[in-house]
Amino acid sequence: MAILNNIRKHGIFLIIIIALALFSFVLSGVLKGNNRAAKGESTVATINGVDISREEFMKKVEATQRNLGPNNRTNQAMNIVWNQELRRVLLEEQYEELGLSAESAQIGNSLRSTLANSPTFQDESGQFSEAKLQEYLASIKNRADSGDPRDFNAWLDYEKNITNSVLENNYFNLIKGGLITTLAEGEQEYHFQNDNVNIQYLYVPYTKIADEDVTVTDAEIEAYIRAHSKDYEVDPQVDIQYVTFNEDPSAEDEAVAKEEISKLINDFEAATNIPEFVNANSEITYTDRWFLKKDLPANIADTLMNMPLNKVYGPYKDGFTYNLAKVFETKQMADSAKARHILIRYAGLQSAPQDVVRTQEDAKKLADSILGLVKKDASKFDALAAEFSEDLSNKDKGGDLGYFTPGRMVKPFNDFIFDNKTGDMGVVETDFGFHVISIDDQKNIQKAVKVAVILKNIEPSEKTINEVFSKSTKFELAAKDGDFAKLAEEKGLDVKPVNKIGELDANIPGIGENRSIVTWAFNEETKIGDIKRVNTTNGYVVVQLTRKSPKGLMSIAEASATVLPILRNQKKAEKISASITSEDINEAASSQNVTLKTASALTMANPTIAGVGTEPKVVGVAFGLKAGETSKLIDGEKGVFMVKVTAVNTAPDIQDYTSYANQLNKKEASTINTNAYNALKNAAEIEDNRADFY
């Protein structure tokens, strides 16, 4: 009561305090908002001064994700769009600087070339027809004027892509034109390939000295990393470790689920409308198909194939489900079939290319007409497939689909093949269009069954879910004040480490896609050792940040795997060289207790010594010596060498080195586009803020 009286006495004062607090909260939000805006909240990235709009970027990511399908992750779509936008900005910058443009004649030629194989744009002789193209453009423009602009907009996008392709080709062709290999370079390549030397050599492998006899310090590794910094640069990375708390059903939950599904057995056996009963009582919808024994789960296949009709098997457990199965129909069916088809598409199908303009009615008439012809004379099937089929994967093979098993084709197609007999022909419509089908063969006729399955998920109860939540929360709180690994061991939990997580990574091994963990780990306020409990699709994980590295050079531990062998071999080379005092190759070999070996026809183009491996430095030194001369000690890839040249075989000059220049040209041309683009990317100033939005 005393507290209530005090509140009444100071009510106005409290109202003022609350109002000020709210004002402060709103003001801080505004200031923070302005601050974020100042930092570029509306900009996903800036590439050479060009801002990539957050709104436009996200629209493209959403569109790309729709095209990829429901099973693809946002991160995958985001990376695809990022690469497209990066390429667009970098190349458009080059086009502008060089004054490049795509001329209408070039665009027209490219369009004709890409559309030439489409029947929609071909005349009676199978040649590209400008009139057919104009007819098509007029038709989609009329549809756009009538309120359906989809095809016309798709055409505009298609033209834009063709224009970009022409511009890219122009740009990269300019680069290729400026990098023509000269005849002097061709001559050099000729001698690289055809000049050769014979040598006698001393080889002391690095393996002669045990690794443990050579000490490489962390300071030496660090110095090497700094001296070769470009090879050891890394983006920001974090390491985490985590434990999992899954909301798996308890034994009590399983017993409840089994009891619930058991109540359906009698009604399931009595049901006559199988699809309706299954759809009303199962977690999965009814599947209308025939099953051969090999198609059924191995552990119940024999049971189901021998079940009396309309008797229910189960409940049986399969993972986190309890199931009932009922065989209600049987027949004899092939386990594979061979067929041919002629596919006729029509406008409006999702699978139809833009250049298909025939109506559904016209497509059906054409398919029926073709069927009539092949029924009268089956030998015409191959020729008609080559002329009319729009399945490019097999039209030149007479529409042959080879052998396939039940369920592999779309349902209407599949049903026609396996419900009819060898030699039957017919027309079937699917989402791909109309198919003129000929059944050529059926193999291994055997018993098939129709099985209805009622599936019930074994769900964790509210009690189980609450217990998992409680355990994860208690662990999170205890881990903040204790040793994460030790506490996990006491609780019987497996600690799973995940290293080298990048700022834009999304998929975490053992957890799946979870950007919230990555975002938390890279947050400026998150420190090494911090703990966080995170929701997952099946419960919770408690995560600890164990390492946080900014952008820069690799740590000594990270780089050791590659740097340590390099430094170790350098020290071994020093020891081996110090033990060889003579400059005479025979005396040097004797001091090392090794036998001199020979190698013949070594070339600069292929600097490989038989029995040793690739040794470019050793072969390069040999080519710098005259016959009879001996080299000093050489630190090679596999060991220390000394070589004595026994013969120098210089290839005779030839009149024309064009073929060798062309070899170099061809070799360079295959990689010039990629190398040129990568050079633009490496030289670009890129401020990448994607991690702030995804």
CA distance readout (Å), 411 to 118, 406, 677 = 28, 9, 46
Phi, psi (rounded to 5 degrees) for 546: -110, -20
Mean pLDDT lowest among 28-42, 216-230, 424-438 = 28-42
pLDDT tens across 241-255, in order?
Answer: 999 999 999 999 999
Encoding tokens for residue 643? Answer: 């070589």
* Helix (H) or strand (E) segment spanning residue 393: none
Where residue 40 falls among pLDDT bands split at 50, 70, 90?
low
Handedness of CA 79, 81, 84, 86 (dihedral sign): negative
What CATH number belongs to 236-248+461-550? 3.10.50
Encoding tokens for residue 507? Answer: 């998929």
pLDDT for 355: 65
* Residue type at position 503: E
Phi, psi (rounded to 5 degrees) for 513: -75, 125
Are the C-beta atoms of residues 490 and 471 closer than 8 Å to each other?
A: no
Question: What order do you get walking across the sheet with 50-53 strand by strand?
Answer: 50-53, 43-47, 686-688
pLDDT tens across 295-327, in order?
Answer: 899 999 999 999 999 999 999 999 899 999 999
| CA distance linking residue 222 with residue 202, whole number of Å | 33
pLDDT tens across 90-126, in order?
Answer: 999 999 999 988 888 888 888 888 888 887 888 777 7
* Helix (H) or strand (E) segment spanning residue 137: helix 130-145
Q: Mean pLDDT score of the chain, rounded to an integer?
A: 89
The mean pLDDT value for 14-33 works out to 41
Are the C-beta atoms of residues 543 and 475 closer than 8 Å to each other?
A: no
Phi, psi (rounded to 5 degrees) for 395: -60, -30
Encoding tokens for residue 608? Answer: 């490989």
336-443: CATH architecture: Roll (3.10)
pLDDT beyond 60 at 145: yes
Are the C-beta atoms of residues 555 and 226 closer than 8 Å to each other?
A: no
Where residue 352 falls among pLDDT bands split at 50, 70, 90?
low
Q: Which residues of 342-379 are buried (b: 16+ CB within 10 A; e: fewer)?
A: bbbbbbeeeebebbbbbeeeebbebbeebbeebeeeee
| CA distance linking residue 489 with residue 491, whole number of Å | 5
> What are the residue ranges spanned by the domains of the chain?
1-39, 100-177, 196-233+557-649, 236-248+461-550, 251-333, 336-443
pLDDT for 569: 97
pLDDT for 24: 44
Where residue 644 falls among pLDDT bands split at 50, 70, 90?
very high
| CA distance linking residue 25 with residue 164, whole number of Å | 50
The residue assigned the tokens 């630190």 is: 635
* % of residues, the chain, pLDDT over 90: 65
pLDDT beyond 60 at 531: yes
**Local structure of residue 684 (DSSP, 8 states):** S
pLDDT for 30: 39
pLDDT for 661: 92
Mean pLDDT lowest among 12-21, 336-345, 619-628, 673-682 = 12-21
pLDDT beyond 80 at 88: yes
pLDDT tens across 440-490, in order?
Answer: 999 999 999 999 999 999 999 999 999 999 999 999 999 998 999 999 999
Q: For the purposes of burial, counting CB atoms within 10 Å of the CB of 176, is it exposed (0-12), middle (13-18) or buried (19 or more)?
A: middle
What CATH number belongs to 196-233+557-649? 3.10.50
The mean pLDDT value for 364-378 works out to 94
The mean pLDDT value for 553-580 works out to 94
**Local structure of residue 308 (DSSP, 8 states):** P
The mean pLDDT value for 29-37 works out to 41
The two domains 251-333 and 336-443 share their CATH topology (first three levels equal)? yes
Q: Which residues pair with 645 in a beta bridge?
A: 199
pLDDT beyond 80 at 2: no
Mean pLDDT lowest among 265-269, 551-555, 583-587 = 551-555
pLDDT beyond 50 at 606: yes
More confident residue, 205 or 139: 205
| CA distance linking residue 157 with residue 385, whole number of Å | 31
pLDDT for 25: 40
pLDDT for 31: 40
| CA distance linking residue 515 with residue 533, whole number of Å | 14
Length of the chain in residues, anyone? 694
**Local structure of residue 56 (DSSP, 8 states):** H
pTM > 0.85: yes or no = no
pLDDT beyond 50 at 429: yes
* Residue type at position 203: Y
CATH of 251-333, one of 3.10.50.40, 3.40.30.10, 3.40.50.2000, 3.40.50.300: 3.10.50.40
Where residue 354 falls among pLDDT bands split at 50, 70, 90?
low
